[in-house]
Structure 1
């Protein structure tokens, strides 16, 4: 006969003495946090409430241990906290003036700082071209810092949440800077039709330790000058007028903005030239907004693609999906789809019991106030080069949801979270042991504007996309299979016993330090046929032998 160990199963909990005492103290105090997973496991069991394991915190994820011993990790699509002074600080993009006169968010993961009041404002846009430059925005620190400048003086900005408005920085135009989670958006709002002769402005750029290179699509990529690793991107700028489509909620009257990168040694000039025909068109409704944005790049990422659009939208504060009901000049619909790359390392190789995707839906096209379905897919990896004509692969659909909010005409559907059950998708990623995984979002029906949705992206000041996953780790396969008594093994690895009711045992490790149960199987060595049923051990602490006794008469 041969004996094989089938598997180990688990239950909670093990309570090693080295952390049990501190965990008991934590539970008695009613704390919701503990230093690490083992401590949180004991505290959760004793308190009956979930307890956060502080050792598992990252910029984008938070992990709790539940009373039943399982883990729950909430992963955000963008940073929700960062390290400052050796401590975790929650992202807070509300702007405030500092004692040195500059403006900064309360807590920005990339150290965003805006310029304050100073200098003399130019009398005209033409005069601004020869004015001295001063710092408007800095992003990053040390040798990886991008500094965007403005030619001419700046008034004291009007601050509103994450937005700073420098009113009439030049006659007839405001300069606006808005903090995002990964960078900033910088607008020039042209409030009146420019005089004949066109409209252009130059913004000097300094990039410490970074090399700036313009791409074929008009965007500018900032790479580490030493390693070549991409650190940040400024998508090709666009412009739009004041009109808003009532169904889509979009500024549909848009045009490209020419961007020229002029190198001056280590310094760079960004020359923006809004489309003169667009500005002069009698149908253009003022104010007109010119929008260049800059965002830091990381392992997590999101973007959307839209039919008819040829620029990168990864720096935008929203993700779009569905048919907005508007058309391109050639009559094709402006259908959009979105993509998110998640940090899935926290639950890699785990057993997922529940996973929920949540998106903050602030606008929908369902004027009839009915709910319309949307889908969640496993996709290929999106990049700043993703476009409607070059989308990541759509591998498999895993979920459909009808959750809908955000229609301004529906009192029963105010802005709010929409969710989808993505348990099977999360398990697929976990089984593949992915450190990062990619998701696609699209409307089930891309022919009707009723299914159109706009949701917050990872760059949004609040409520970025999130994924909440509850899971447990598999116990490991046994590593010390034995049969006895007398528990003797010869040089060939064969175990010997002198009884027909032997004891079978093995030792199982478990990443959660849960108690484990071993399952054993006996097979005929000649035929491979199983003899009798599987035999199960009692639950034992992980790392200690689990054993069964073969019942009389079986052998």
Structure 2
């Protein structure tokens, strides 16, 4: 009865089994049989912290890469750095409960089911009685077949089940293998074959989530929801017992496959969502030449590797995914046959690798004669389930003979039981790997297909053994010191100035072998290398960098060529393409320097300078301002200009060096001295009038500041002792919710998006909330503010009262803010002591200076000469309103009123020197 629908699986990955030492016959040499050699292996569990490659190198034995084990394959790291992939054509193990178990088809009863010990797919069979004969599961998909009547209890014989007399003189037999099962009706008499039950055999079918349908070739397939074929099977067949056993081993089981000479007939199959119907061939049943028992075998076969057999006796009939063993060559028993076999293997895993050896191994089970005869292995085109003798025996399919073996195994007197035969197929596997091929197809055929003594039979579980190595891969060749690229021609070659350049390459190796790099350097005019060097070994895998430096100086004014290759101990990469460079250690002359920006110069003003040279190979210049050392950064020869901003008043010494295309820097710099004066104030209010409703701007801009009605006059930081005119100041009587102010009528005195500075002296009265001394109006929030965030003290709020507990303990946090596109940026000091009860008037005053540098986006706040700086976040936005004192704008409201004295307010439209800040904090306004 039916073999189950085969789970659809692609061509299995290439395998490399333990090497079988043999002399493979090429050109007619006889292959002498020897025992298979099992190579010693170190278990990964012995040294789990080390890679398989490391353990193999240290132990001298191959080590399995356990993470790459599959149901058909094992991968080993070899001591010499190569890899071996061992893969069977059919499953030999499976994953169960987190560990691998070897497949074992022996069956045993468990409850009302019978199950094999371990098979490639999970399957269970009826123990008798119920109608479900078999169910099988693969990758979560389940399919079951039911018998139309209750079943008798089966006889269990190892991997075989026999349900006796399901009909008179008809047994139902199931043969289980490691990968699949086969079911066949054994019809012992002609009368039984003519019974009504065998005119049409209908079985129940369940395939949840799948659609079962006929194929165009008369087979059956089960398709999942995604449209992918999950299980499939070729067209069903039936055969009699007319063949002679002389063409195959005595142990050949006719219930599993027809023997040579058996009459074979295809059968029709129909399928629905719930049933499978097979129509036995009545011509074979009724033919008087038919010899019983008759075997009726519906289509379904197990999950086998893609393989095909073609038979000239049935030139239009395909045989796909056959099992057991099959014939090769010509046998003369009627009906005669002339057969060839196809096998397919995936080579994706070894694509682009270097193939050290590759053997195709087929187990010969039978030979027509003990006289050794030649059997050949060919590289073939891909077989399909429709390949026949007519379509698959020509030269376009059988493309290249690869190897041959002169052997005779399987009969008494010539290795009874059979023996594995290796064939050297390295040339085809290596060509496929070099071409990045995903698969390779091999075929077996007799050298003389008319010699019946050359008839042989081979098992389906062939293997392909491949010993391979992934050569290292070179990346990122360049000169590391001095930095220069790899240029593969003299045109555009880099010029370097180091007589012992450091050459560098990065190397990766997918096998994680230990790596070395070999370098060569030669003059372009020479044939052989001037210098060679092999680096120390490094662990492979991820990218490893290797360097090489010549041991003696190279010649000046000379073009050199270098190249590199790498090895993993087993194979070398090809030499890289040549890299060129020109060595030039001659320093260029010093450049000229001229000022593009005309003087006079002021602190904070940009100054542009130009460098020049008459030397043609100069490509850049380096320069510093007030620094002696050669900088690392450079500017290109064209346009050869640079702009800097003076940070202090006085001499500005510019030094410049020329740099040639080899990176050589002129020995001595050229110098140019410029003098920068401090910037003039753009607004300066001394506040010394002592009376009136305004205070004059003594800068060249003459923008008067007007006093609010509550603002009054008082003594300045120098007090009445200042001569010849007493120093005066303004007093602004701010409270928590209201206060006075002063303001200019002119607007946008400070462009806060550019460099600017603000200075003011303050003597705060006691008031604990946030206070703004100076600001520029802007809707929403002031463009900038200068003032305090908080003020704390001990004792009473009467700084001049002798009964105050501690009038000197005042702590103020000073603040400088800028309006930005993302909100208000705030720079604050730590709490600073303020002596409000100082005897000397000048000691009661605080000198505040705030600056903003657009180029560095830095805000700096000076308090009595001490400073704090911070990087400004967000984009600074300008306040376009008038400059004012005494309050600020926050959240659209006027707030943060100041209470206290202020004096000497100055603004600059750029940075000011440290000397000017020191002068201001020393009391000089």
- Same fold, judged at TM 0.5 (above): yes
Q: Any idea what SS the aligned residue of 2:337 has?
A: coil
Q: Is the 8 A contact 2:212 2:271 kept in 1?
A: no
3-state DSSP of counterpart to 1:140? strand
| Alpha-carbon separation, structure 2, partners of 1:70 and 1:230 | 37
Name the counterpart of 2:627.
none
Query: Are the counterparts in 1 of residues 372 and 408 from structure 2 also a CA contact under 8 Å?
Result: yes
Q: Quick check: 1:399 aligned with 2:403?
A: yes
Q: Distance in 1 between matches of 2:139 and 2:416?
A: 46
SS of 2:474 mapped into structure 1: coil
Deviations 1:333-384 (A, max 9, x none): 522111112233332222121222222221222x2x1222222222222222
Report what 1:301 is aligned to. 306
Residue 427 of structure 2, aligned match among 424, 431, 443: 424
Query: How far off its partner does 1:77 sit?
Result: 0.8
Match of residue 205 from structure 2: 205
Closer/same/farther in 2, CA of residues 38 and 510 from structure 1, 3 Å limit? farther
SS at match of 1:480: strand
1:252 counterpart = 2:261 = yes
Query: 1:76 is matched with which residue?
Result: 88
> Equivalent residues in 2 for 1:524-535 (5 A)?
532=529, 535=532
Residue equivalent to 2:160: 163
What displacement does 1:235 show? 2.0
Q: For residues 320 and 57 of structure 1, what CA distance do their matches in structure 2 show?
A: 32
Separation (CA, whole Å) in 2 of partners of 1:439 and 1:33: 37
Partner of 2:292: 286
Matched, 1:343 2:346: yes
Alpha carbons of structure 1 residues 524 and 211: separation in structure 2 relative to 1, 3 Å? farther
1:152 to 146, 149, 154: 149
The SS at the match of 2:389 is coil
The structure-2 alpha-carbon separation of the partners of 1:387 and 1:490, relative to structure 1 and needing over 3 Å to count, comes to closer
Partner Cα separation in structure 1 for residue 374 and residue 531 of structure 2: 45
* Number of the residue aligned with 1:509: 508
- For residues 140 and 321 of structure 1, what CA distance do their matches in structure 2 show? 34
Find the partner of 1:53 among 65, 70, 74: 65
1:174 deviation in Å? 0.6
Retained in 1: the 8 A contact 2:243–2:333?
no
- Counterpart of 1:414 in structure 2 is 417
* Residues 19-64 of structure 1: per-residue CA shift (max 9 Å, x gap): xxxxxxxxxx963657989622222223222111111111211011
**Pairwise mapping of residues 78-477 of structure 1 onto structure 2 (< 5 A)?**
78-98=90-110, 100-118=111-129, 134-141=131-138, 144-194=141-191, 199-200=198-199, 201-224=201-224, 226-249=225-248, 250-263=259-272, 266-273=273-280, 275-296=281-302, 300-309=305-314, 310-326=317-333, 334-365=337-368, 367=369, 369-391=370-392, 393-406=397-410, 408-457=411-460, 464-477=461-474
Which of 55-64 and 504-513 deviates more?
A: 504-513
- Residue 297 (structure 1) shift: 5.2
For 1:224-282, what per-residue CA distance to the aligned partner results, in whole angstroms no more than 9, with x for missing partners?
Answer: 2x22222222222222222332442234131324323142xx31232332x33433334
8 A contact 1:36–1:53 mirrored in 2: no
2:518–2:535 CA contact under 8 A, matched in 1: no
Structure 2 CA distance for partners of 1:141 and 1:396, relative to 1, 3 Å: closer
SS at match of 2:74: strand
Distance 1:375 1:239, change over 3 A: same
Distance 1:495 1:82, change over 3 A: farther
- Structure 1 536/386 Cα, relative in aligned 2: closer, same or farther at 3 Å? farther
In structure 2, do the counterparts of structure 1 residues 394 and 135 end up closer, same or farther at CA, with 3 Å as the change threshold? same
Per the alignment, in what secondary structure is the counterpart of residue 187 of structure 1?
strand
Q: What SS does structure 2 have at the residue aligned with 1:112?
A: strand
Give, in whole Å, the separation in 2 of the partners of 1:37 and 1:301: 39
2-structure distance, mates of 1:503, 1:398: 48
SS of match in other structure, 2:387: coil
Report the Cα offset of residue 181 of structure 1. Answer: 4.1
Give the match's secondary structure for 1:424.
Answer: helix
1:138-196 deviations in Å (ceiling 9; x for gaps): 12258622212211122222222322111112110110112234432110000111265
- Identify if the C-alpha distance between structure 1 residues 35 and 234 changes in structure 2 by more than 3 Å, giving closer, same or farther: farther
C-alpha deviation, 1:213, in angstroms? 1.9
Query: Structure 2 vs 1, CA of residues 388 and 139 (structure 1 numbering), >3 Å: closer, same or farther?
Result: farther
Q: Deviations over 1:370-410 (max 9, x none)?
A: 2222222222222222222222822322222224322x343
CA gap of 1:52–1:141, structure 2 versus 1, over 3 A, is closer
Contact persistence 2:278–2:298 (CA under 8 A)? no
Structure 1 residues 248 and 534, CA gap change in structure 2 (3 angstroms):
farther
Cα distance in 1 for partners of 2:48, 2:384 equals: 35
Cα distance between partner residues in 2 of 1:236 and 1:117: 28
Distance 1:197 1:413 in 2: 42
CA distance in 2, matches of 1:278, 1:169: 21
Tell me the residue number matched to 2:54. 42
Equivalent pair of 1:257/1:290 in contact (CA under 8 Å): no
Distance 1:493 1:164, change over 3 A: farther
Provide the secondary structure at the position in 1 that maps to 2:300.
Answer: strand
Structure with higher RCO (Cα < 8 A, 6+ apart): 1
| Alpha-carbon distance in 2 for matches of 1:474, 1:404 | 39
Deviation at 1:212, TM superposition (A): 1.9
Alignment CA distance shift 1:396-1:533 (3 Å) = farther
Q: Distance in 2 between matches of 1:534 and 1:179?
A: 67
- Per the alignment, residue 3 of structure 1 pairs with none
1:218–1:110 Cα change, 3 Å: same
Q: Provide closer, same or farther for how the CA distance between residues 206 and 538 of structure 1 changes in structure 2, counting only shifts above 3 A.
A: same
- RMSD of aligned residue pairs (Cα, Å): 3.2
The answer on whether the counterparts of 1:155 and 1:167 sit within 8 Å (CA) in structure 2 is yes
Quickly say closer, same or farther: Cα 1:148–1:538, change in 2 above 3 A: same
> 5+ unaligned residues in a row in structure 1: which ranges?
1-28, 120-133, 458-463
Name stretches of at least 5 consecutive residues in structure 2 with no aligned partner: 1-40, 249-258, 559-925
Task: Quote the residue 2:756 is aligned against.
Answer: none
1:472-508, Cα deviation, whole Å (9 max, x unpaired)? 1110023232265x34569999544335664433221
CA change 1:60–1:35 in 2 (3 A) is farther
Contact 2:329–2:445 (8 Å) recurs in 1: yes
Q: Displacement, 1:533?
A: 7.4
* Bigger Rg over Cα: 2
C-alpha change, 1:209 and 1:36, in structure 2 (3 Å) is farther
Q: Per the alignment, in what secondary structure is the counterpart of residue 292 of structure 2?
A: coil
CA pair 373-539 structure 1, distance change in 2 beyond 3 A:
farther
The aligned length equals: 491
d(CA) in 2 for partners of 1:303, 1:36? 42
SS for the counterpart of 1:478 is strand
